[in-house]
Structure 1
Amino acid sequence: MRSDKHQVKKKGRWTKILLIFLLLLGVGIGYSYFQYKQGVNQSLKQLQTNPSKVNYSFNGQKDQYGDTNILLLGSDARGKETSRSDTIMIAHFNQKKGTFKLTSIMRDCYVEIPGHGKHKINAAFAYGGPDLLRQTIKQNFDLDSQYYAIVDFRGFEQLIDEAFPNGVEIDVEKEMKRNIGVTLEPGRQRLNGKQLLGYVRFRHDAMSDFGRVERQQKTVRAIKDQLSGFKTIAKLPKLIGVVTPYVNTNMKTSDILFMGKDFLSDKSGKVDTLRIPIDNSFTEPRVPGEGLVLDINVEKNKQALHQFITK
């Protein structure tokens, strides 16, 4: 008799615990959705309208190592089909390790584009959207991407201002002002969204695109280091909402939230970066109809890429 009463009490206790857990889970989901929608509405007020987005087909898969690769693109015409991709990056996510790596592919790499012959790699986006660019990377470097995200530069500004009310701390190497809409003085300082965007887009110096790619990677590392922590993870749904109207992607919001949580956790460590082409693997000839290009040693760069993501 006492045993039966004990079992009933134990069962009742676990039922209460389960109900409390489900209640807390429901509150958490509801709060996250509220924060997400608040972020979306905040950006839509800035835009004053819900921007139309081109619907792209994208047939990528996880790579041969089981990693998730996200093709990150910044378009110089902000989503129009005829534009060339201004920035080409691949974010590598290893779910088992919870680690992230970042590869930047310079837009002037002279490679074979399936069905179009040899061109600068950023022309692939103009010819066939993100999927043709994915195919081009796979054909030349033997690496597939499961997702793509085309980022409107205004979304970058909004995200930075929301996540960093006091700005992102960056050491600006030199004075920068030509064609970036702001003037940046040299020295360590905090940059708001507009200033940071100018910093990562600047290329009018002797380093040209090489310097720009280096600054982009440096900025990603700074954002990761300065965002990491529990408080930021709590703000993640709103941050995703803020940037959503500015991003064309085939990723579900739940996927972004899951990967974003891992990216911001202290366990993910620092973000390792790679630039293609690597040093001593290219020449810079002038090609009729293309101008100056980066004529790369494809095999050498392919090996470097695979060593980078598997080490």
Structure 2
Amino acid sequence: MDEIQEHQPRRKRKKKFKRGRFLSFLFFFLLLAVGAYAFTQYTSGYNLAKDAKKEPADFTGDVREQGQRENVLVLGVDSRGQDKARTDTMMLVSWDRESNNVKIISFMRDIYAEIPGYKSYKLNTAYYLDGVQLVTDTIENMFDVPIHHYALIDFSSFETLVDIVTPEGIPINVEKDMSEKIGVTLKKGQQNLSGEELLGYARFRSDAEGDFGRVARQQIVMEALKDEILSVKNLRNIPKFVGATEGYIETDYSKSDKLKRVMDASVSGNVEIEKLTIPVEGSYTNKSYSHAGSVLEIDKERNKKAISDFLE
């Protein structure tokens, strides 16, 4: 009897050991499967965009720290195969690495800007004149805000990236019928927009709101994209999306830096976005110059303070 009792605990320990070893093997093979899937999808995205890959522009980021904030200049261009283009979208995306709070500052393209080494022109002309660094220098000099990194995306690449990360489309409440000069026809109401439709929505300005309405829609698109990229249902698309960014997004970030930032945001699961448009209301007048056309002449000090207050 004593011998039977003596063997029972040993038998239980052996069963627990076998069960534990089985679960460890199961977890290990699950990790292998997930890793293999992620690698395959990343490679698929990378191969899709490899022919579009460009070398990063000559860029010198600001070395000034702004607390935990990392400021990224995001530029959208419609190059249409041309070497020179103007920036249709200019945003400063300021990310607080500690709280995961994101603040987006949108700069109106018609701001009459003091462009270093050139006459004053519309802000979107700086990229046409001398690329990313000149846009960076112009914004830093005018508004005294440090820019640490940049990301440049062509609109055709934007469409493809949207379709990769959200094949079923991005939910947007289109506030009015839209069609003029955007390449697609959109009807008023809630709907899922493809990459091409989302770009058309963001670029529409054929109404009384003009460029101000377009900037507001660009901010709506950024928020909607953030929600979709971080949603659980789209996590399976992230490896292919990150792979495709290697070719479709030109940036000074390294491959590992890009992946780290996407993973940091994904793991946190909660990214809050605040938005500001420059110039702020009541801080500009409409002017016209023979060499620059119709522009927004701004109260520089007032807008500089608005940015400082917003970021701090």
* TM bucket, shorter chain: 0.7 to 0.9
3-state DSSP class of the match of 1:283? strand
Post-superposition CA distance 1:193-230 (Å, at most 9, x none): 11111101111111111111000101111222233244
Q: 2:246 aligns with which of 228, 244, 247?
A: 244
| Contact 2:96-2:102 within 8 A present in 1 as well | yes
Pairing 1:9-88 to 2, within 5 Å after superposition: 31-43=37-49, 50-51=51-52, 53=54, 55-61=56-62, 63-66=64-67, 67-77=69-79, 80-88=82-90
| Contact 1:79-1:150 within 8 A present in 2 as well | no
What do you get for the CA RMSD once the two structures are aligned? 2.6
- Opposite residue 177 of structure 1, the aligned amino acid is S
Pairing 1:100-249 to 2, within 5 Å after superposition: 100-249=102-251
- Opposite residue 194 of structure 1, the aligned amino acid is E
Q: Distance in 1 between the 2:89 and 2:241 partners?
A: 22
| Contact 1:224-1:263 within 8 A present in 2 as well | no
| Contact 1:62-1:69 within 8 A present in 2 as well | no
Q: TM-score, normalised by structure 2?
A: 0.83
Give the match for residue 17 of structure 2. Answer: none
3-state DSSP class of the match of 1:263? helix
Give the match for residue 89 of structure 1. Answer: 91
- Opposite residue 288 of structure 1, the aligned amino acid is S
Q: Distance in 2 between the 1:134 and 1:25 partners?
A: 42
3-state DSSP class of the match of 2:197? helix
Residue 135 and residue 28 in structure 1: after superposition, are their counterparts in 2 closer, same or farther (change >3 A)? farther
Q: TM-score, normalised by structure 1?
A: 0.84
Post-superposition CA distance 1:5-50 (Å, at most 9, x none): xxxxxxxxxxx9xx99999988766654432111122346xxxxx1
Residue 148 of structure 1, CA deviation: 1.2
Q: Distance in 2 between the 1:197 and 1:31 partners?
A: 30
- Opposite residue 129 of structure 2, the aligned amino acid is Y
| Contact 2:109-2:123 within 8 A present in 1 as well | yes
- Opposite residue 85 of structure 2, the aligned amino acid is S
Residue 161 of structure 1, CA deviation: 1.5
Residue 171 and residue 257 in structure 1: after superposition, are their counterparts in 2 closer, same or farther (change >3 A)? same
- Opposite residue 53 of structure 1, the aligned amino acid is K
Unaligned stretches of 5+ in structure 2? Answer: 1-20
Q: Distance in 2 between the 1:78 and 1:135 partners?
A: 25
Q: Distance in 2 between the 1:282 and 1:87 partners?
A: 19
Runs ≥4 residues deviating over 4 A: 19-31, 78-81
Residue 41 and residue 290 in structure 1: after superposition, are their counterparts in 2 closer, same or farther (change >3 A)? same
- Opposite residue 52 of structure 2, the aligned amino acid is P
| Contact 2:169-2:194 within 8 A present in 1 as well | yes
Give the match for residue 47 of structure 1. Answer: none
Unaligned stretches of 5+ in structure 1? Answer: 1-15, 45-49
Q: 2:308 aligns with which of 303, 306, 309?
A: 306
Query: What's the % identity of the aligned pairs?
Result: 38
Residue 274 and residue 267 in structure 1: after superposition, are their counterparts in 2 closer, same or farther (change >3 A)? same
3-state DSSP class of the match of 1:131? helix
Aligned: 1:297 with 2:303 = no
- Opposite residue 41 of structure 1, the aligned amino acid is N
Pairing 1:255-270 to 2, within 5 Å after superposition: 255-265=257-267, 267-270=269-272
- Opposite residue 125 of structure 2, the aligned amino acid is A
Residue 102 of structure 1, CA deviation: 1.0
Q: Distance in 2 between the 1:150 and 1:78 partners?
A: 14
3-state DSSP class of the match of 1:294? strand
Q: Distance in 2 between the 1:291 and 1:120 partners?
A: 8
| Contact 1:141-1:298 within 8 A present in 2 as well | yes
3-state DSSP class of the match of 1:73? strand
Aligned residues: 288
3-state DSSP class of the match of 2:272? coil
